[in-house]
Amino acid sequence: MHILHHVAKAGGVTPATQDKVAERFPQIARYYRAAHVDWAHRWQMSASFCEAIHYTLELASSHPVFDDLLDEAFRTPLTPQGKPPPFVPGSQSALFAWKPQWWSIPSDEDLALEAYLTDPNIQDRMGDVDWLEPLAPVAWYFSAAAVAVDFLSRLRREQRMRIREKIIIREDMRGAAHPECHASGLIPCCIENPKLRIEVHMGVWNSLMPPIWLEYQFWDYDVPTGIGAHRFLRSFADWIGESLSLFSSGMPVGALRFILEGSEKETLQVWTMIKHAAGLQETLIQSVQVQQHGEISLGIIRNEWNLTCERDSLLKRFQLPCDLPVSFCEAIKQIVAGTSIIQFNGDPGGLWNSREMNMTRRYWSPQDFYNEWSSLSATSVSLPTGDVRFFFKKYELQALLREQIF
Protein backbone atom coordinates (compact mmCIF):
# COMPACT_ATOMS: atom_id res chain seq x y z
CA MET A 1 0.00 0.00 0.00
CA HIS A 2 2.90 2.35 0.70
CA ILE A 3 4.18 1.85 -2.86
CA LEU A 4 0.70 2.24 -4.32
CA HIS A 5 0.20 5.46 -2.38
CA HIS A 6 3.22 7.02 -4.12
CA VAL A 7 2.25 5.70 -7.55
CA ALA A 8 -1.29 7.05 -7.15
CA LYS A 9 -0.10 10.51 -6.08
CA ALA A 10 1.93 10.72 -9.31
CA GLY A 11 -1.12 9.90 -11.44
CA GLY A 12 -0.18 6.28 -12.06
CA VAL A 13 -3.59 5.00 -10.92
CA THR A 14 -6.36 6.29 -13.17
CA PRO A 15 -10.14 5.87 -12.70
CA ALA A 16 -9.99 3.27 -15.50
CA THR A 17 -7.37 1.36 -13.49
CA GLN A 18 -9.58 1.40 -10.42
CA ASP A 19 -12.54 0.18 -12.47
CA LYS A 20 -10.51 -2.80 -13.75
CA VAL A 21 -9.48 -3.73 -10.23
CA ALA A 22 -13.03 -3.33 -8.89
CA GLU A 23 -14.33 -5.54 -11.70
CA ARG A 24 -11.87 -8.32 -10.85
CA PHE A 25 -12.35 -7.96 -7.07
CA PRO A 26 -15.97 -6.82 -6.61
CA GLN A 27 -16.15 -7.89 -2.97
CA ILE A 28 -13.56 -5.33 -1.88
CA ALA A 29 -14.41 -2.57 -4.35
CA ARG A 30 -15.90 -0.17 -1.81
CA TYR A 31 -13.02 -0.06 0.66
CA TYR A 32 -10.44 -0.44 -2.10
CA ARG A 33 -11.62 2.83 -3.65
CA ALA A 34 -11.54 4.49 -0.22
CA ALA A 35 -7.90 3.63 0.54
CA HIS A 36 -6.74 7.21 1.13
CA VAL A 37 -3.73 6.31 3.28
CA ASP A 38 -0.71 4.07 2.85
CA TRP A 39 -1.32 1.84 5.85
CA ALA A 40 -3.96 -0.24 7.58
CA HIS A 41 -4.12 -2.50 10.60
CA ARG A 42 -2.83 -5.96 9.75
CA TRP A 43 -6.06 -7.60 10.91
CA GLN A 44 -8.14 -5.45 8.55
CA MET A 45 -6.50 -6.84 5.43
CA SER A 46 -8.02 -9.68 3.45
CA ALA A 47 -6.31 -11.89 0.89
CA SER A 48 -8.46 -10.39 -1.86
CA PHE A 49 -7.51 -6.85 -0.84
CA CYS A 50 -3.79 -7.67 -0.90
CA GLU A 51 -4.16 -9.27 -4.33
CA ALA A 52 -6.09 -6.21 -5.54
CA ILE A 53 -3.26 -3.93 -4.40
CA HIS A 54 -0.69 -6.02 -6.27
CA TYR A 55 -2.88 -6.15 -9.38
CA THR A 56 -3.19 -2.35 -9.28
CA LEU A 57 0.60 -2.04 -9.22
CA GLU A 58 0.87 -4.42 -12.17
CA LEU A 59 -1.53 -2.23 -14.15
CA ALA A 60 0.33 0.91 -13.10
CA SER A 61 3.77 -0.50 -13.95
CA SER A 62 3.48 0.94 -17.47
CA HIS A 63 3.69 4.46 -16.03
CA PRO A 64 6.81 6.19 -17.47
CA VAL A 65 8.36 6.84 -14.05
CA PHE A 66 7.05 3.76 -12.24
CA ASP A 67 10.56 2.56 -11.29
CA ASP A 68 11.42 5.99 -9.92
CA LEU A 69 8.25 5.96 -7.84
CA LEU A 70 9.15 2.55 -6.43
CA ASP A 71 12.54 3.89 -5.42
CA GLU A 72 10.93 6.95 -3.82
CA ALA A 73 8.51 4.78 -1.83
CA PHE A 74 11.39 2.73 -0.43
CA ARG A 75 13.06 5.93 0.83
CA THR A 76 9.96 7.60 2.29
CA PRO A 77 8.72 6.98 5.87
CA LEU A 78 5.53 5.04 6.39
CA THR A 79 2.35 6.74 7.57
CA PRO A 80 1.49 7.28 10.42
CA GLN A 81 4.43 5.80 12.31
CA GLY A 82 7.06 7.87 10.49
CA LYS A 83 9.33 4.84 10.19
CA PRO A 84 11.23 3.94 7.03
CA PRO A 85 10.26 0.74 5.16
CA PRO A 86 12.41 -2.23 6.28
CA PHE A 87 13.71 -2.95 2.76
CA VAL A 88 17.29 -2.48 1.64
CA PRO A 89 17.97 0.09 -1.11
CA GLY A 90 17.71 -1.30 -4.63
CA SER A 91 15.54 -4.29 -3.67
CA GLN A 92 12.27 -2.95 -5.06
CA SER A 93 12.31 -4.87 -8.35
CA ALA A 94 12.96 -8.23 -6.66
CA LEU A 95 10.34 -7.52 -4.00
CA PHE A 96 7.73 -6.50 -6.58
CA ALA A 97 8.32 -9.72 -8.55
CA TRP A 98 8.10 -12.00 -5.49
CA LYS A 99 4.56 -13.47 -5.29
CA PRO A 100 4.46 -16.68 -3.24
CA GLN A 101 1.14 -18.43 -2.74
CA TRP A 102 -0.58 -17.64 0.56
CA TRP A 103 -0.33 -21.27 1.66
CA SER A 104 3.32 -21.72 0.70
CA ILE A 105 5.64 -22.82 3.49
CA PRO A 106 8.87 -20.84 2.97
CA SER A 107 11.82 -22.77 1.62
CA ASP A 108 15.43 -22.03 2.51
CA GLU A 109 15.61 -20.01 -0.71
CA ASP A 110 12.59 -17.94 0.33
CA LEU A 111 14.09 -17.23 3.74
CA ALA A 112 17.39 -16.29 2.15
CA LEU A 113 15.58 -13.92 -0.22
CA GLU A 114 13.75 -12.28 2.68
CA ALA A 115 17.03 -11.78 4.51
CA TYR A 116 18.50 -10.30 1.33
CA LEU A 117 15.62 -7.86 0.75
CA THR A 118 15.05 -6.60 4.29
CA ASP A 119 17.05 -5.10 7.10
CA PRO A 120 15.18 -5.08 10.44
CA ASN A 121 17.82 -2.75 11.88
CA ILE A 122 16.48 0.05 9.68
CA GLN A 123 13.42 0.29 11.90
CA ASP A 124 15.08 -0.91 15.11
CA ARG A 125 17.47 2.05 14.99
CA MET A 126 14.51 4.40 15.38
CA GLY A 127 14.11 3.21 18.97
CA ASP A 128 10.36 3.84 19.03
CA VAL A 129 7.52 1.45 19.80
CA ASP A 130 5.28 0.58 16.88
CA TRP A 131 1.87 0.58 18.55
CA LEU A 132 0.34 -1.32 15.65
CA GLU A 133 2.47 -4.39 16.35
CA PRO A 134 2.83 -6.68 19.39
CA LEU A 135 5.41 -5.74 22.00
CA ALA A 136 6.37 -9.35 22.74
CA PRO A 137 7.55 -11.94 20.19
CA VAL A 138 4.53 -13.77 18.79
CA ALA A 139 4.49 -17.35 17.53
CA TRP A 140 3.14 -17.67 13.99
CA TYR A 141 1.81 -21.04 12.87
CA PHE A 142 1.42 -22.57 9.45
CA SER A 143 -2.16 -23.65 8.89
CA ALA A 144 -2.85 -27.38 8.83
CA ALA A 145 -4.09 -26.92 5.25
CA ALA A 146 -0.75 -25.38 4.27
CA VAL A 147 1.08 -28.32 5.86
CA ALA A 148 -1.17 -30.75 3.97
CA VAL A 149 -0.51 -28.97 0.66
CA ASP A 150 3.22 -29.08 1.33
CA PHE A 151 3.10 -32.78 2.25
CA LEU A 152 1.09 -33.79 -0.82
CA SER A 153 3.36 -31.78 -3.12
CA ARG A 154 6.37 -33.76 -1.88
CA LEU A 155 4.82 -37.11 -2.80
CA ARG A 156 5.37 -38.65 -6.20
CA ARG A 157 2.36 -38.48 -8.50
CA GLU A 158 1.81 -42.23 -8.34
CA GLN A 159 1.73 -42.03 -4.54
CA ARG A 160 -0.91 -39.30 -4.60
CA MET A 161 -2.98 -41.28 -7.10
CA ARG A 162 -3.05 -44.28 -4.74
CA ILE A 163 -4.60 -42.34 -1.86
CA ARG A 164 -8.03 -43.80 -1.11
CA GLU A 165 -8.56 -42.93 2.56
CA LYS A 166 -10.15 -39.62 3.47
CA ILE A 167 -7.62 -36.97 4.48
CA ILE A 168 -8.70 -35.17 7.66
CA ILE A 169 -7.14 -31.78 8.32
CA ARG A 170 -7.59 -30.36 11.83
CA GLU A 171 -7.00 -26.64 12.23
CA ASP A 172 -6.19 -26.14 15.92
CA MET A 173 -4.38 -22.78 15.65
CA ARG A 174 -4.87 -19.69 13.54
CA GLY A 175 -2.52 -19.92 10.58
CA ALA A 176 -0.35 -17.16 9.18
CA ALA A 177 -0.88 -15.44 5.82
CA HIS A 178 -4.66 -15.37 5.36
CA PRO A 179 -5.51 -18.99 6.29
CA GLU A 180 -9.07 -18.58 5.00
CA CYS A 181 -7.82 -19.15 1.44
CA HIS A 182 -5.30 -21.96 2.08
CA ALA A 183 -7.69 -24.72 1.01
CA SER A 184 -7.24 -23.43 -2.54
CA GLY A 185 -3.81 -25.04 -2.50
CA LEU A 186 -5.52 -28.45 -2.42
CA ILE A 187 -7.28 -27.92 -5.76
CA PRO A 188 -4.50 -29.36 -8.00
CA CYS A 189 -4.33 -32.59 -5.96
CA CYS A 190 -8.12 -33.01 -6.02
CA ILE A 191 -8.21 -32.49 -9.79
CA GLU A 192 -5.32 -34.90 -10.27
CA ASN A 193 -6.95 -37.65 -8.17
CA PRO A 194 -10.77 -37.59 -8.59
CA LYS A 195 -11.12 -40.14 -5.77
CA LEU A 196 -9.36 -37.93 -3.23
CA ARG A 197 -11.62 -36.77 -0.38
CA ILE A 198 -10.57 -34.12 2.13
CA GLU A 199 -12.29 -32.96 5.32
CA VAL A 200 -11.16 -29.78 7.08
CA HIS A 201 -12.16 -29.39 10.73
CA MET A 202 -12.44 -25.78 11.89
CA GLY A 203 -13.19 -24.12 15.21
CA VAL A 204 -14.43 -20.65 16.07
CA TRP A 205 -11.96 -20.33 18.94
CA ASN A 206 -8.85 -21.54 17.16
CA SER A 207 -8.65 -21.24 13.37
CA LEU A 208 -11.32 -18.51 13.03
CA MET A 209 -10.36 -16.57 16.14
CA PRO A 210 -9.50 -12.93 15.33
CA PRO A 211 -5.80 -12.35 16.20
CA ILE A 212 -6.39 -10.34 19.36
CA TRP A 213 -2.96 -11.40 20.67
CA LEU A 214 -1.45 -8.87 18.27
CA GLU A 215 -3.05 -6.04 20.22
CA TYR A 216 -2.60 -6.96 23.85
CA GLN A 217 -0.40 -3.94 24.65
CA PHE A 218 -3.60 -1.90 24.72
CA TRP A 219 -5.01 -4.05 27.53
CA ASP A 220 -2.41 -3.64 30.24
CA TYR A 221 -4.92 -2.20 32.69
CA ASP A 222 -8.22 -3.56 31.42
CA VAL A 223 -8.26 -7.26 30.57
CA PRO A 224 -11.49 -7.90 28.63
CA THR A 225 -13.50 -11.09 28.91
CA GLY A 226 -15.15 -10.58 25.53
CA ILE A 227 -14.41 -9.45 22.02
CA GLY A 228 -16.37 -7.24 19.64
CA ALA A 229 -18.75 -9.10 17.35
CA HIS A 230 -17.48 -7.13 14.35
CA ARG A 231 -14.09 -8.82 14.73
CA PHE A 232 -15.61 -12.28 14.38
CA LEU A 233 -17.81 -11.11 11.55
CA ARG A 234 -14.79 -10.05 9.47
CA SER A 235 -12.98 -13.32 10.09
CA PHE A 236 -16.05 -15.46 9.39
CA ALA A 237 -17.10 -13.51 6.30
CA ASP A 238 -13.62 -13.76 4.77
CA TRP A 239 -13.61 -17.52 5.36
CA ILE A 240 -17.11 -17.95 3.91
CA GLY A 241 -16.20 -15.94 0.82
CA GLU A 242 -12.99 -17.85 0.15
CA SER A 243 -14.55 -21.27 0.85
CA LEU A 244 -17.44 -20.75 -1.54
CA SER A 245 -15.10 -19.56 -4.30
CA LEU A 246 -13.26 -22.90 -4.30
CA PHE A 247 -15.56 -24.47 -6.89
CA SER A 248 -15.30 -21.55 -9.29
CA SER A 249 -11.53 -21.90 -8.92
CA GLY A 250 -11.63 -25.55 -10.03
CA MET A 251 -12.24 -27.62 -6.90
CA PRO A 252 -14.18 -30.77 -7.97
CA VAL A 253 -17.64 -31.07 -6.43
CA GLY A 254 -17.61 -33.48 -3.50
CA ALA A 255 -13.83 -33.46 -3.06
CA LEU A 256 -13.73 -31.16 -0.03
CA ARG A 257 -15.93 -30.21 2.88
CA PHE A 258 -15.51 -28.24 6.09
CA ILE A 259 -16.67 -29.28 9.56
CA LEU A 260 -17.34 -26.29 11.82
CA GLU A 261 -17.37 -27.01 15.55
CA GLY A 262 -20.64 -25.78 16.99
CA SER A 263 -21.23 -27.24 20.44
CA GLU A 264 -19.81 -24.68 22.88
CA LYS A 265 -22.13 -22.07 24.38
CA GLU A 266 -19.87 -19.23 23.27
CA THR A 267 -19.67 -20.67 19.76
CA LEU A 268 -23.46 -20.67 19.52
CA GLN A 269 -23.44 -17.04 20.64
CA VAL A 270 -21.15 -16.21 17.71
CA TRP A 271 -23.31 -18.29 15.35
CA THR A 272 -26.47 -16.43 16.43
CA MET A 273 -24.73 -13.14 15.66
CA ILE A 274 -23.64 -14.46 12.25
CA LYS A 275 -27.22 -15.46 11.38
CA HIS A 276 -28.52 -12.05 12.45
CA ALA A 277 -25.94 -10.38 10.20
CA ALA A 278 -27.03 -12.56 7.28
CA GLY A 279 -30.66 -11.66 7.92
CA LEU A 280 -29.83 -7.95 7.89
CA GLN A 281 -27.95 -8.36 4.62
CA GLU A 282 -30.97 -10.02 3.00
CA THR A 283 -33.33 -7.38 4.40
CA LEU A 284 -31.21 -4.45 3.23
CA ILE A 285 -30.89 -5.88 -0.29
CA GLN A 286 -34.68 -6.27 -0.48
CA SER A 287 -35.41 -2.84 1.01
CA VAL A 288 -37.03 -0.04 -0.98
CA GLN A 289 -33.85 2.03 -0.59
CA VAL A 290 -31.63 -0.47 -2.43
CA GLN A 291 -34.28 -1.56 -4.92
CA GLN A 292 -34.84 2.04 -6.03
CA HIS A 293 -31.39 3.58 -5.65
CA GLY A 294 -28.90 0.71 -5.87
CA GLU A 295 -25.57 0.97 -4.03
CA ILE A 296 -25.61 3.06 -0.87
CA SER A 297 -23.13 5.93 -0.60
CA LEU A 298 -21.31 6.03 2.74
CA GLY A 299 -21.15 9.80 2.36
CA ILE A 300 -24.78 10.10 3.47
CA ILE A 301 -24.31 8.02 6.63
CA ARG A 302 -22.97 9.47 9.87
CA ASN A 303 -21.33 7.55 12.69
CA GLU A 304 -21.65 8.11 16.43
CA TRP A 305 -19.30 11.12 16.17
CA ASN A 306 -21.52 12.69 13.48
CA LEU A 307 -18.83 12.16 10.84
CA THR A 308 -19.48 10.61 7.44
CA CYS A 309 -18.40 6.99 7.12
CA GLU A 310 -16.73 7.05 3.71
CA ARG A 311 -13.20 7.62 5.00
CA ASP A 312 -13.56 4.74 7.46
CA SER A 313 -14.03 2.18 4.69
CA LEU A 314 -10.54 0.74 5.03
CA LEU A 315 -10.57 0.60 8.83
CA LYS A 316 -14.10 -0.81 9.02
CA ARG A 317 -14.59 -3.02 6.00
CA PHE A 318 -18.15 -4.09 6.76
CA GLN A 319 -19.85 -0.81 7.62
CA LEU A 320 -23.20 -2.01 6.26
CA PRO A 321 -24.74 -5.47 5.78
CA CYS A 322 -24.38 -5.05 2.00
CA ASP A 323 -20.58 -4.94 2.42
CA LEU A 324 -20.60 -8.65 3.30
CA PRO A 325 -19.77 -11.10 0.49
CA VAL A 326 -22.67 -11.29 -1.97
CA SER A 327 -23.07 -15.01 -1.27
CA PHE A 328 -22.95 -14.62 2.53
CA CYS A 329 -26.69 -14.73 3.27
CA GLU A 330 -27.33 -17.69 0.96
CA ALA A 331 -24.30 -19.49 2.39
CA ILE A 332 -25.65 -19.23 5.94
CA LYS A 333 -29.03 -20.54 4.76
CA GLN A 334 -27.35 -23.56 3.17
CA ILE A 335 -25.35 -24.28 6.33
CA VAL A 336 -28.54 -24.26 8.42
CA ALA A 337 -30.28 -26.49 5.85
CA GLY A 338 -27.34 -28.92 5.78
CA THR A 339 -26.75 -28.52 2.03
CA SER A 340 -23.47 -26.60 2.20
CA ILE A 341 -19.87 -27.78 1.91
CA ILE A 342 -19.64 -26.29 5.41
CA GLN A 343 -21.23 -28.64 7.94
CA PHE A 344 -22.15 -27.19 11.34
CA ASN A 345 -21.17 -29.80 13.92
CA GLY A 346 -23.96 -29.05 16.38
CA ASP A 347 -27.45 -27.61 16.30
CA PRO A 348 -27.43 -24.72 13.80
CA GLY A 349 -30.87 -23.62 14.96
CA GLY A 350 -33.44 -21.98 12.74
CA LEU A 351 -33.23 -19.11 10.29
CA TRP A 352 -34.34 -15.55 10.90
CA ASN A 353 -37.94 -14.58 10.19
CA SER A 354 -37.48 -13.02 6.75
CA ARG A 355 -41.08 -11.84 6.46
CA GLU A 356 -41.04 -10.07 9.81
CA MET A 357 -37.63 -8.48 9.22
CA ASN A 358 -38.69 -7.22 5.78
CA MET A 359 -41.97 -5.80 7.05
CA THR A 360 -40.35 -3.83 9.88
CA ARG A 361 -37.39 -2.56 7.83
CA ARG A 362 -38.71 -2.28 4.29
CA TYR A 363 -38.76 1.53 4.28
CA TRP A 364 -35.71 2.08 6.43
CA SER A 365 -33.15 4.68 5.42
CA PRO A 366 -29.44 3.79 5.04
CA GLN A 367 -28.88 5.52 8.39
CA ASP A 368 -31.43 3.23 10.07
CA PHE A 369 -29.65 0.15 8.75
CA TYR A 370 -26.29 1.56 9.79
CA ASN A 371 -27.52 2.21 13.33
CA GLU A 372 -28.76 -1.37 13.80
CA TRP A 373 -25.66 -2.79 12.11
CA SER A 374 -23.41 -0.69 14.32
CA SER A 375 -25.25 -1.90 17.41
CA LEU A 376 -24.84 -5.54 16.35
CA SER A 377 -21.16 -5.03 15.55
CA ALA A 378 -20.52 -3.51 18.98
CA THR A 379 -21.97 -6.53 20.79
CA SER A 380 -19.42 -8.25 23.01
CA VAL A 381 -18.90 -11.98 22.45
CA SER A 382 -17.88 -13.87 25.60
CA LEU A 383 -14.58 -15.74 25.50
CA PRO A 384 -14.78 -19.42 26.53
CA THR A 385 -11.42 -19.16 28.29
CA GLY A 386 -12.36 -16.41 30.73
CA ASP A 387 -10.36 -13.54 29.26
CA VAL A 388 -7.85 -12.70 26.54
CA ARG A 389 -4.77 -13.73 28.54
CA PHE A 390 -5.32 -17.35 27.51
CA PHE A 391 -4.75 -16.39 23.88
CA PHE A 392 -1.73 -14.24 24.73
CA LYS A 393 -0.08 -17.26 26.31
CA LYS A 394 -1.19 -19.60 23.53
CA TYR A 395 0.52 -17.53 20.85
CA GLU A 396 3.49 -16.33 22.88
CA LEU A 397 6.78 -17.29 21.25
CA GLN A 398 8.52 -18.06 24.55
CA ALA A 399 5.76 -20.50 25.52
CA LEU A 400 6.24 -22.31 22.22
CA LEU A 401 10.00 -22.50 22.74
CA ARG A 402 9.53 -23.93 26.24
CA GLU A 403 7.29 -26.66 24.83
CA GLN A 404 9.95 -27.58 22.27
CA ILE A 405 12.71 -27.71 24.90
CA PHE A 406 10.80 -29.78 27.44
Domain boundaries, the chain: 2-99, 144-382
Q: What pLDDT score does 372 carry?
A: 96
What is the identity of the amino acid at 390? F
Contacts of residue 118, defined as CB under 8 A and 6 or more positions apart, other chains included, come to: 86, 87, 88, 91
Mean pLDDT for each 10-residue chunk of the chain (406 residues)?
83 90 85 62 75 91 87 75 72 83 92 80 50 65 97 97 96 94 98 97 92 65 77 91 92 97 91 96 95 84 80 74 92 97 95 96 95 93 82 76 57
List all residues 6 or more positions away from 347 whose beta carbon is below 8 Å from its beta carbon.
262, 268
pLDDT at 126: 44
pTM of the model: 0.89
Helical ranges in 155-286 per DSSP H: 157-161, 187-192, 229-244, 265-285
Burial 60-90 (b: 16+ CB within 10 A, else e): beebeebeebbbbbbeeebeebebbbebbee
Report how far residue 30's alpha carbon sits from residue 33's, in angstroms, rounded to the nearest whole number: 6
At 342 the three-state DSSP class reads strand
Alpha-carbon separation of residue 97 from 39, 78, 86, 109, 286 (angstroms) = 21, 21, 17, 15, 44
CA distances from 305 to 52, 228, 301, 330 (A): 31, 19, 11, 34
Which pLDDT value is given to residue 160? Answer: 97
Q: What is the pLDDT of residue 217?
A: 54
